[in-house]
Amino acid sequence: MSARTLFDKIWDAHVVLRRDDGLCLLYIDRHYFHEGSFHAFNQIAARGLPIRRPDLTFGFGDHYAPTLARSLDGVADPEIRGIIGTFERNVAAHRLTAFRLADPDQGIVHVAAPELGLTLPGMTVVCGDSHTSSHGALGALAFGIGASEVAHVFATQTIWQAKPKQMLVRFEGTPAPGVTAKDMVLALIARIGTGGAIGHAVEFAGEAIRALPVEGRLTICNMTIEAGARTGMVAPDETTFAWLAGRRYAPPAPDPRWRELFTDPGARFDAEVVIDTGTLSPMATWGTSPEEAAPITGRVPRAAEAPDAARAAAWARSLAYMGLEGGEAFADIPLDVVFLGSCTNARLPDLRAAAEVLKGRRVRVPMIVSPGSEAVRRAAEAEGLDRIFAEAGAEWRHAGCSLCAAMNGDIVGPRRRCASTSNRNFPGRQGREARTHLVSPRSAAASAVAGRLVPAEAL
């Protein structure tokens, strides 16, 4: 057989049927859903269809989950309370395994599912959420799907897909002190743009990727979608196997087939990007797209500095929305709030990194800390991280998507500026007219202390 990529191996193993037009019917190993999947439940109910494989279907209460309470009684908004109630009724009606508000393992699906060992190397994984690409960090083929596709997977445990092109992104070298996985992926998106990987499945490789813990790989794969990619993945290795050991749904020992999940020497990609990680700095976004990012130690670009007229117009719109002129030093931009959370950066190492910066210091602006799962919350409290946050003046909350998606009642507020560890800085993402700067957990903590956008090394 010719040399194959990691993606090829997983794709080929899951093809049920190939059509003449190139579409493939893929078998799905894991299907995750959340409260927003009620449309798909309505679709299968209208057709009188059962869920084909309830044993492979897992629900997570996250997008609308309140971070200040663990019950419906704590949800003031009747619409949000109704959506959560519908989720729980659908779970009960179909006898599905789900991690609801009261469950000790509730959390954001892209944090909690890997922690539980539900996502394993070589699997196909889907969920009605674009950041399902996160799970590719464990050597899985994972991607987000729409409501009608969710219904199709509910009913058949399969999905029709066109095989994407493939891109290899290699991060070589050793990162400078303070440069994290979040900075690496923001630097990638700033370089290739939000359309740079459209139509591609991206495999991340190189010395700097191999040196990352699984949590850092999850962060990078999480934001692959922000470059337009269909999915992101990292070949599983000893780091992966050790991380999965002992998790509830993972096997007691690595499956020998996992060791065959790598890109063969000589396998071809449609595109390749190489980044010297040693040249990178801590990053921050300044505009309304993840590609509008620059080193946080520098300044915001001016629209006139854009490489072409179309970009100049886009930069001007972004600067106007963000209330910036261009040319400002990031360190001179005052903040109104800081958010540490989301499926991008709310895992235990993220909280440790932020707590390290905050220890012995006080925040100057309100800071909300929402762990990615209740398991992360308990582990953080066992280490005393919650006390560090509280002593610094930050607010310690429960798990949920919170200010990342602003669907649970948590919002930044009109024309208020937030340094956020989440994945999107689109207009209105954190609430109407909210202004979002994407940063790493270390930079978020430092910015909360300074009240301005700074890296941890500036304190």
Residue 1 lies in a domain: no
Q: Using CB atoms within 10 Å of the CB of residue 52, give its burial: 0 to 12 exposed, 13 to 18 middle, 19+ buried.
A: middle
pLDDT of residue 1: 64
pLDDT of residue 156: 98
Residues 157 and 180 in one domain: no
Residues 82 and 188 in one domain: no
**Placement of tokens 């007229």 in the chain:** 309
Are 394 and 365 in contact by the 8 Å Cβ rule? The answer is no
Residues 273 and 323 in one domain: no
- Per-residue burial over 126-163, b if 16 or more Cβ lie within 10 Å, else e, is bbbbebbbbbbbbbbbbbbbebebbbbbbbbbbbebeb
* Residue 92 neighbours by CB under 8 Å, 6+ apart: none
Give the closest residue to 232 by CA, choosing from 167, 158, 280, 283: 167
Residues 364 and 428 in one domain: yes
pLDDT of residue 382: 98
pLDDT of residue 210: 98
Angle at the Cα of 71 (from 65 to 72), degrees rounded to 5? Answer: 80
pLDDT of residue 71: 84
SS3 content of the chain, % helix, strand, coil (to 5): 40, 20, 40
**Number of domains forming the structure of the chain:** 3
Compute CA distances 173 → 170, 187, 191, 233, 280, whole Å: 10, 15, 17, 19, 10
371: amino acid identity, one letter: P
* Residue range(s) defining the domain that contains residue 419: 284-458
Per-residue tens of pLDDT for the chain, all 459 residues: 699 999 999 999 999 999 999 999 999 999 999 999 999 999 999 999 999 999 999 999 999 999 998 888 878 889 999 999 999 999 999 999 999 998 999 999 999 999 999 999 999 999 999 999 999 999 999 999 999 999 999 999 999 999 999 999 999 999 999 999 999 999 999 999 999 999 999 999 999 999 999 999 999 999 999 999 999 999 999 999 999 999 999 999 999 999 999 999 999 999 999 999 999 999 999 999 999 999 999 999 999 999 999 999 999 999 999 999 999 999 999 999 999 999 999 999 999 999 999 999 999 999 999 999 999 999 999 999 999 999 999 999 999 999 999 999 999 999 999 999 999 999 999 999 999 999 999 999 999 999 999 999 999
Compute CA distances 420 → 153, 335, 363, 372, whole Å: 33, 11, 15, 14
Give the CATH number, domain containing residue 328. 3.30.499.10
* Residue 346 neighbours by CB under 8 Å, 6+ apart: 108, 111, 340, 370, 371, 372, 373, 376, 399, 421
**386: its two tokens:** 């919650």
Q: What predicted TM-score, i.e. pTM, was given to this entire model?
A: 0.97
Residue 350 lies in a domain: yes
Question: In whole angstroms, how large is the CA radius of gyration of the chain?
Answer: 21
d(CA 114, CA 317): 38
pLDDT of residue 82: 94
Q: Last residue of a domain, which of 279, 311, 333?
A: 279
